[in-house]
Amino acid sequence: MTTTAGTAAPAGTAAPAATDQDLLYSEVEDDLRASVRALLADRCPHTAVLARCEGDEPHDPALWSALAADLGAAGLAVPEERGGHGASWRETAVVMEELGRSAAPVPFLGSAVLAAAALLGCDPRRQEAAELLAGVASGTTAAALAVDFSTAPGAEFPCAVRADDAGALTGRVTAVADAPAAQVLLVPAIGPDGPGLYAVDAAGAGVSTAVPPALDLTRRIGHLDLDGAAGRLLAGPDRARAALERALLTGAGMLASEQLGLAEWCLEETVRHVRGRTQFGRPVGSFQALKHRLADLWLEVVSARAAARSAADALASNAPDADVAVAVAQSYCADVAVHAAEECVQLHGGIGMTWEHPAHLYLKRAKADQIALGTPGRHRARLAGLVGLPPV
């Protein structure tokens, strides 16, 4: 799949930034954060996550239903009249931060972000799509968007799956995020009239999902094989392309907030550790070599927070330069999260290398997130086109 270099800005200009962005957290967002954090502290301690990730069911269905349905987190970005809670991607981003902080094994990104955003792009008058969106928003249905998780916004519409006249789908899609937890798959496919988005029951005939061991222990991927699987059309050529693009853009923007939360946890945990650990007769955190590294990391996290908030705000308000804000946030936050997780392992010393300590959950999530929805380099290449800085 190739990335197209966005629409070029007129030569000699960068797209001006939206000036009225709110980069802070509202009171409502703070309250939401507190509820999600309390739930995760109660239901998702690291010991439980570690125990679960070696079992057959890496995601936690009970936690998922408490978060998605009881707390209503899955429907935050969906308007009330379409079965959601009528908040926005800003609030959803706060949930993503908290999920990043706890490396929680729930299919939130796959279902409440990628699938929900794709369904929001479908015609609300199409009953099939409307019902599915309501199910996803209420947290009763977990869906997954059947695209390769490394796909970046701006990618060509995938053509690996074909739909026949009767809506039977055939083809293979690798590395679908949260597919193992999904009841419904949203499959972009080329139908008789062109690009379409189809719903397929994950447990239906002609669908097989292989679940490989994944680098990220807390977010599983699945390889889908579709062999004449029954698909229900959600969006035809008029909307499918835009719906998919919006989903990828939204996913990449929301992922930046997950990366922020993840980096915050790593920084805090590392600071806590180096303050308490004594070697050479003093806390190792009093050695300047470590203090300076952590000060630099802190500054990265400060900038990551601003970039992630900017992307969330741009998506929430449908800002015309949302693609720039997302490319900035995703390319920046992805590297910050990896850096934070790597420092976390290193500054914990030997204990950071153990299976028992949770640092590796974050390292694995951070490294997988760096590839997810476009590597930083891919986002920078796209940005170059968007802001008029061509490579040659």
Partner 1 sequence: MTSNPTAVDAGELRRRVAEFLAGHDPAGTDRLEFLRARFDAGLAWVHYPVGLGGLGAPRTLQPLVDAEFAAAGAPDNDPRRNGIGLGMAAPTILAHGSEELKQRLLRPLWTGEEVWCQLFSEPGAGSDLAALATRAVPEKGPDGDGAGGTWVVDGQKVWTSSAHLARWAILIARTDPDLPKHRGITYFVCDMTDPGVEVRPLRQITGEAEFNEVFLTGVRIPDSHRLGAVGEGWRVAQTTLMNERVAIGGGPAPREGGMAGVVADAWRGRPEGRTPELHARLMRLWVEAEAQRLAAERLRQQLAAGGVGSEGAGMKLGFARLSQALSGLEVELLGAEGLEYDDWTMRRPDHVDFTGREAGYRYLRAKGNSIEGGTSEILRNIIAERVLGLPAEPRSDKDVPWKDLPR
Using rule CB under 8 A, residue 194 touches partner 1: no
> Residues 324 to 383: which contact partner 1 by CB under 8 A?
327-329, 331-332, 377, 380-381, 383
Angle between helices 240-276 and 322-347 (to 10 degrees): 30
Q: How far apart are CA 59 and CA 180, in angstroms?
A: 9
Per-residue binder mask for partner 1 (CB under 8 A), 228-267, x = binder? ----------------------------------------
The neighbour count for residue 190, using CB atoms within 10 Å, is: 18
Pick the closer one to partner 1 by CB: 68 or 267. Answer: 267
Cβ atoms of 74 and 32 within 8 Å: the answer is no
- How far is residue 144's CA from residue 161's CA, in Å, rounded to a whole number? 16
- Closest Cα partner for 90 from 18, 28, 16, 149? 28
How many residues contact partner 1, by CB under 8 A? 51
User: Is-contact 68 111, C-beta < 8 A?
Assistant: yes
Residues in the chain: 392
Beta bridge partners of 224: 173, 209
Q: Does 291 bind partner 1 (CB under 8 A)?
A: yes
Q: Residue 355: count other Cβ atoms within 10 Å of its Cβ.
A: 9
The one among 2, 27, 54, 282 contacting partner 1 by CB under 8 A: 282
CB-based contact 207:173 (threshold 8 Å): no
Provide φ and ψ at 341, rounded to 5°: -70, -35
| Helical packing angle, 359-371 and 240-276, nearest 10° | 150
Query: In the complex, what is the shortest distance from the CB of residue 256 to partner 1, in angstroms, rounded to a whole number?
Result: 10
* Part in contact with partner 1 (CB under 8 A); list of ranges 49-57, 133-141, 192-200, 268-276: 268-276
CB of 73 to partner 1, least distance (A): 24
Which among 161, 131, 135 is positioned nearest to 147, based on CA atoms?
A: 161
Q: Counting contacts by CB under 8 A, is residue 206 touching partner 1?
A: no
Pairing of strands 194-201, 221-230: unpaired
Answer yes or no: are the C-beta atoms of 294 and 282 closer than 8 Å.
no
Of the two residues 24 and 166, which places its CB atom closer to partner 1 in the complex? 24
Q: Does 22 bind partner 1 (CB under 8 A)?
A: yes
Q: Judged by CB, which is closer to partner 1: 28, or 295? A: 295
Which among 52-60, 117-125, 179-187, 279-287 is the span making contact with partner 1, rule CB under 8 A?
279-287
Among 3, 232, 287, 375, binds partner 1 (CB under 8 A): 287
87 scored as a contact of partner 1 (CB under 8 A): no
- Whole-number Å distance between alpha carbons of 234 and 185: 11
**172: which residues sit within 8 A by CB, 6+ positions away?**
160, 161, 223, 224, 225, 226
299 contributes a contact to partner 1 by CB under 8 A: yes
69 touches partner 1 by CB under 8 A: no
Task: Tell me which of 305, 339, 348, 365 binds partner 1, using CB under 8 A.
Answer: 305
Q: Using CB under 8 A, pick the residue from 102, 151, 259, 310 that binds partner 1.
A: 310
Instruction: Out of 292, 318, 351, 354, name the contact with partner 1 by CB under 8 A.
Output: 292
Q: Does 14 bind partner 1 (CB under 8 A)?
A: yes
How near is the Cβ of 90 to partner 1 at its closest, in Å? 14
Binding site for partner 1 (CB under 8 A): 11-12, 14-17, 21-24, 271, 274-275, 282-283, 285-288, 290-292, 294-296, 298-299, 302-307, 309-310, 327-329, 331-332, 377, 380-381, 383-384, 387-392
